[in-house]
Amino acid sequence: MTTYQGELLEHTQAHAQAAYWFTRLNSGEATAAELREFEDWRRDNPENERSYRYICYFCDASLDASEHEIRRLLAGSGEKPALLKPYHRGLLAGLLVLALALTVFFSWPEPILREEHLVSGAQMLEQRFVDGAVLRLGPDSALEIREYEDRLNLQLLRGQVTLLLADPTPKSVTVFSSFAQARSNKGQFSAFLDSDQMKFAVDTGSVEVSSGTWWRRQTRVLIPGQHIDVDRWSGMKRVQPAPVSPNEAD
């Protein structure tokens, strides 16, 4: 019978191990053997998985807190507040008005030329765009399209999508999920999404693949014949040559 103290010890150990793996995987120095060891550790115990997700969640959530808010929370309650002179109060008010105006300007909604939700059945679904780009949505796949004046954003919800772009297309094309994205303006590439795994493969042209938040951003540029796997929790794997198809092998 597991005691409360035993459960607490297991929980604490899982958090400590999760903190180690989070730091190691985001250091950029993790080896292939360590990545395999991490996957084994994560699958070994459900508590390990929960602890790692917990740390990822709070590290990402902390990005929304401003330095001022963090300092306010850490400040002692006994500190005497500093009083601003009238001139300084007027200057501060002016800066606040300017900041508000800039916020409104940059957050003003950009016109969307086209917005569409695509879901394929048992057959592949093809869409063509005015600039010559062709989208092929694989069977049992779902995609959100948002087309702007200078770019085309495609959110892959599940399944596979292949892009055939004019050389070069006047708009940049970005295929993304909640944890990875690929951007290009020429050539042909594919994206695959399966739960916490995403894969990008390039046939022609070049594609910039990125994942992670700004403070642990990873970016790779793929050329024809290369592919890369991205894991929601452990990040990017190594760039690999694309596998040879059975027809090419013959």
Predicted pLDDT of residue 71: 54
Structure tokens at 105: 């300007």
Domain boundaries, the chain: 1-108, 114-249
What is the spatial distance between Cα 31 and Cα 33, in angstroms, rounded to a whole number?
5
DSSP SS3 for 155: strand
The alpha carbon dihedral of 153, 211, 158, 166 has a sign of positive
What is the spatial distance between Cα 135 and Cα 94, in angstroms, rounded to a whole number?
49
Contact (Cβ atoms closer than 8 angstroms) between residue 212 and residue 196: no
Contact (Cβ atoms closer than 8 angstroms) between residue 242 and residue 202: yes
Q: How far is CA 206 from the centre of its chain?
A: 19
Contact (Cβ atoms closer than 8 angstroms) between residue 22 and residue 14: no
pLDDT in tens, the chain (250 residues): 445 444 545 557 888 888 888 777 766 666 777 878 888 888 888 888 888 888 776 665 554 554 455 555 555 544 444 555 565 566 666 666 666 665 555 555 678 888 999 999 999 999 998 888 999 999 999 999 999 988 999 999 999 999 999 777 788 899 999 999 999 988 999 999 998 999 999 999 989 999 987 667 888 889 999 999 999 888 888 888 855 444 444 4
Contact (Cβ atoms closer than 8 angstroms) between residue 170 and residue 131: yes
CATH code given to domain 114-249? 2.60.120.1440
Contact (Cβ atoms closer than 8 angstroms) between residue 146 and residue 127: no
Q: What is the pTM of this model?
A: 0.59
> Can you tell me which residue has the tokens 């991490």?
38
Contact (Cβ atoms closer than 8 angstroms) between residue 203 and residue 190: yes
